[in-house]
Structure 1
Amino acid sequence: MHRTGRRGSWCTLLCVLLFGLFLVHSGLPDEHDPAAGPPRLSAAQQPGGAPRSLPMAAPLPSSPPRRIALPSIRVDAPLVTVGLDRSGSIEAPPLTAADRAGWYSGAVAPGERGTAVIVGHVDAESGPAVFYLLGSVARGSRVEVLREDGRTAVFEVYGTRSYPQRGFPAEQVYRDGPRPELRLITCGGRYREREGYEDNVVVFARLVDVRERAG
């Protein structure tokens, strides 16, 4: 659990990448009241083993993502590029930009062969953040990622799960494969004032379509 000295405890996102174990830090000041926190997952949202057969879309070449949209939870947000800090942790978007999500550039771009990773805050001092409702995303929902090359990579969600931050199942979440995959991650579970959130919410999605730039 990572903690900072800035006015108390901060929320922590645990993100185990293909290349090793790192922490994704998402800030949450003391003043935040989690009583009306993000929705919890239902059993129907959780993936039960292998995903059902989804339409196949061919992998795309590399191109940085610029926006992410999740119509089912009314998210349409800019993407910023995040990397690693000096401690080997993923840099989440700053809390002053809690309405933005962050693409981890050390992994593949969304639509490429492999597993892309996008992280976002669940909340901030000002209130709900970009991924506040991520835990309510259901199977069959679409995730649309607009890329710099003008293509929109369209993913279909096949599961949403909550994992304890300790004992995060890296192999299960980030297993690489022959098809383009996407993982969306934020904080979740019960909030404790000193420790922050106990869990991480992970959305599993697979590329099913590509929309070409109009014109």
Structure 2
Amino acid sequence: MAAEPSPPAPAGPDEPNSARGGRMALWGVALAALAVSVLGGHQESGDAKAAPRTPVVGAAVPADPADPADPDQPDTGLPRSVPIRLLIPKIGVDAPFTPLDLAATGQLEPPPAANTNLVGWYAKGATPGEQGTAIIAGHVDTTTSAAVFANLDSLEPGDEFSVDRADGRQARFVVDDTETYAKDDFPSKRVYADVSRPEVRLITCAGDYDRTVRDYTDNLVVFAHLV
């Protein structure tokens, strides 16, 4: 799902391959004063961080979502609770969560690339199931193998997935739409704008691998809401 704020990753491949098995999908969400931008880039081992590409400034992401008035109704959401596990039966995802924060660069740190079965969530935004827009991101592949969101592009409207939470509840979501956007023209307002119901965005990298910037050209975004 998509930029590059973390410590240097292993060297990128000499040639991309159709299985995406030798490339690392580094995604990112750059926030300046909580304005969202999607950037991208692969890094060679030992290199400094690659220069960010032109950001697309969008809507603010609430850092401290308010508690819902009625936690039992999907339209107002569940109480705030840390996500534990993401389950997407259609594509075989059963992955634990790790919280993501902003790096010194102002970009959202990606999940650790060494663990291919791990997703991250923006810990200062809405938790999955809580009223608002929750952000869940994961790698599509690494330099050694496919990763947790390798088949995210197989999801279609009507497909369901769930998030196990620390409070013992399971938040169930249905897919509304899937969209692929060029990273240089990412619609931040559409993807990250706050909403009045509990929604989730699943994000990973997509498109072609651009060797000049060591990154994929696009982001895949899955839009879903609580049911």
- Give the TM-score range, shorter chain: 0.7 to 0.9
Cα RMSD for the two superposed structures: 2.5
Q: TM-score, normalised by structure 1?
A: 0.77
SS in 2 for 1:95: coil
Alignment check: 8 A CA contact 1:12 1:24 kept? no
Matched residue, 2:217: 198
Matched residue, 1:148: 166
- Identity of counterpart residues, as a percentage? 39
Aligned with residue 11 of structure 2, among 7, 11, 30: 7
| 1:13 maps to amino acid | W
1:113 and 1:2, CA in 2 relative to 1: closer, same or farther beyond 3 A? closer
CA deviations 1:64-86 (Å, max 9, x no partner) are 00100111111011111111111
For structure 2, which runs of at least 5 residues remain unmatched after alignment? 14-23, 46-72
Q: C-alpha displacement at 1:145, in angstroms?
A: 0.3
| 1:136 maps to amino acid | S
Matched residue, 1:41: none
Q: TM-score, normalised by structure 2?
A: 0.73
Alignment check: 8 A CA contact 2:110 2:137 kept? yes
Partners of 2:209 and 2:82 lie apart in 1 by 33
For structure 1, which runs of at least 5 residues remain unmatched after alignment? 31-55, 209-215
Matched residue, 1:51: none
Aligned length: 183
Q: C-alpha displacement at 1:193, in angstroms?
A: 2.1
Within-5 A mapping of 1:78-157: 78-157=96-175
Q: C-alpha displacement at 1:5, in angstroms?
A: 7.9
Partners of 1:200 and 1:85 lie apart in 2 by 20
CA deviations 1:113-144 (Å, max 9, x no partner) are 10000010000022100001111111111120
Alignment check: 8 A CA contact 2:28 2:109 kept? no
2:201 is the alignment partner of 1:183: yes
Partners of 1:111 and 1:176 lie apart in 2 by 14
Alignment check: 8 A CA contact 1:25 1:92 kept? no
